[in-house]
Structure 1
């Protein structure tokens, strides 16, 4: 497959600015991947496709307020700093992106907050935009994190086309988010409300959780036409024993396994062994899935409608079938579905 095969025209007005007023009240397209048939439903209808002891697998990573703004020493230039991950707690070292990158050099200091309460020093240039910052802070680590996060905002993607709002940190988060470490949300999971989780419980649908800390690579441009040459950013992931037991039992008993989102799909495939079962996993993955690909674990997947050229779209077409999925995207545009992290849902089933 070539990058150019994932081009389609997406009007800005088709990108959702905000989520549905109630999480579980968005629209949902259902794509039957064996026939290409399409249904137009609401997300609340999802449970009608599942039976007792089928398993929904969620990503319980938690988004932190990763985008903040500082001022460069002497010049006072405004610099956007996007926190990617903490490298060393004791030394307060963080891997970050800075914008505009051309203004930042090793040794520069950045000041954050109205009272310049937090100061950071650039100690390394790792890529054209990437930097390592050492935050100069005397308090304990928990106090430092609270102070740092108080200055940050929800890291909603720039392509949404609006500025972040205080409510976005809750909007851009799954209600079951637990393990902090993501700079973007596993968006398919954002459709689940507490009421929906309760309905799942009443219907005896089982829940399993993986943790994959979603990085900016989900939204980074793919810049090679030959997809075999694309390198995904590595992301930290964890698959524990309870998840393995639930998923493997469902597979052995012939029950359905739903991957809630592309991050879950990648994690399940990364943790899958040669016998078709998943195994415990703690480490990093840069697994890149694009057509053609034979999936082993999940037999259905819930996703949002993704952007042109994105690796998320590539994985979706690998699961749904390239022709069927791209046709479904054409139908979504014709029928006014909303795209992006705050957009509508797409359920792909056999």
Structure 2
């Protein structure tokens, strides 16, 4: 039994063999395994993602995060001596100004200039922040994002060691709004044809935008879960999606979030405004067991790291015992884990 007033990070630990961490995406996208779980009973059924239609009803609503991952890892050299530098773009702070992580950091003093892609991009460090991140002012002759797309690499999570041959496989097929440092991975399972089939069956689809920050990979350091501070991320809930959610609720349909980012967007808006309405802003909502869900009726999500805020969110929605049991089954049945892995459907 989980003590809601004294939750420990270790409560959310499970043993995961390294060989179950998916290193490459499966082909086709929707061939991944899907564990369907009854939210009330915890009963588990094994399926494939291409069978998702069989578990949804006409009038249900899927909420997808349309954020697009920046090829935000760039390699270059110091302008004056050609020594190596690596930048990871974190958040845009102005027209050509970005907060970055860089390695090796000792080279990136204020005023230092770096060049990337043989001069396609250049940058000057303008500030060093308290946490060691830098602010860099970029210059380029043409479009910054075109240059970034040409020379940048996908910022794959640290547990993925294999090089990605096709950058688009770390994007959802519906990604549109540039700004994420990591993919909203639950959406990687969809194909364009599958989305069309869902809509043809009367299942509605709405989009939100939440730009995923690298904080999503930061481990929970405090043993007391309630002491953890979440990173802040920018979100947008458009009018069409807000209307779809309200209409679905009014007609008795189910609102099913695709991914923890979609979940956090919807529940942030509901918590802040006490209703669903068009808006944008920043959220640092932390969802853990005991949380009162106001919007979600279902959740599609991948299998997450032990002791992470994401497994805590799943435990809040599915129930702690049900969640830990599902993960135990997933390990025993050799499901694929994390970003390129399999998923669960909780309804």
TM-score by length of 2: 0.94
Contact 1:277 1:297 in 2 (8 A): no
Partners of 1:217 and 1:22 in 2: how far apart? 29
Assess if the C-alpha contact under 8 Å between 1:84 and 1:183 holds in 2.
yes
- Give, in whole Å, the separation in 1 of the partners of 2:194 and 2:274: 30
**Secondary structure of 2:263's match?**
helix
- Aligned mate of 2:297, from 287, 292, 299: 299
Q: Which runs of 4+ in 1 moved over 3 A?
A: 73-77, 273-277
Q: What count of residue pairs does the alignment treat as equivalent?
A: 341
SS of alignment partner, residue 159 of structure 1: coil
Contact 1:98/1:129, CA 8 A, preserved across alignment: no
Residue 203 (str. 1) matches residue 207 (str. 2)? no
Q: Secondary structure at the match of 1:338?
A: coil
Paired residue for 1:160? 160
User: 1:313: how far off?
Assistant: 1.1
Counterpart position of 1:231: 229
**C-alpha contact (below 8 Å) 1:54/1:206 kept by paired residues:** yes
Residue of structure 2 aligned with 1:78, choices 77, 84, 90: 84
SS at match of 1:238: strand
How far off is 1:276 after superposition? 6.1
SS in 2 for 1:94: strand
Please report the RMSD computed on the Cα atoms of aligned residues, expressed in angstroms.
1.6
CA displacement at 1:118 relative to structure 2: 2.4
Contact 2:72–2:148 under 8 Å retained in 1: no
Distance in structure 1 (CA, Å) of the matches to 2:259 and 2:293: 14
- The TM-score normalised by the length of structure 1 is 0.93
Shift of 1:275: 8.8
**Unmatched tracts of structure 1, length 5 or more:** none
> What is the Cα deviation at residue 226 of structure 1?
1.7
Cα pair 1:99 1:129 within 8 Å, conserved: no
Q: Any unmatched runs of 5+ in structure 2?
A: 1-6
> Residues 242 and 18 (structure 1 numbering): CA distance in 2 closer, same or farther, change over 3 Å?
same
What's 2:126 paired with? 123
Q: Matches of 1:30 and 1:109 in 2, distance apart?
A: 52
**Structure 1 CA distance, aligned partners of 2:119 and 2:102?**
18
Which residue does 2:110 correspond to in 1? 106
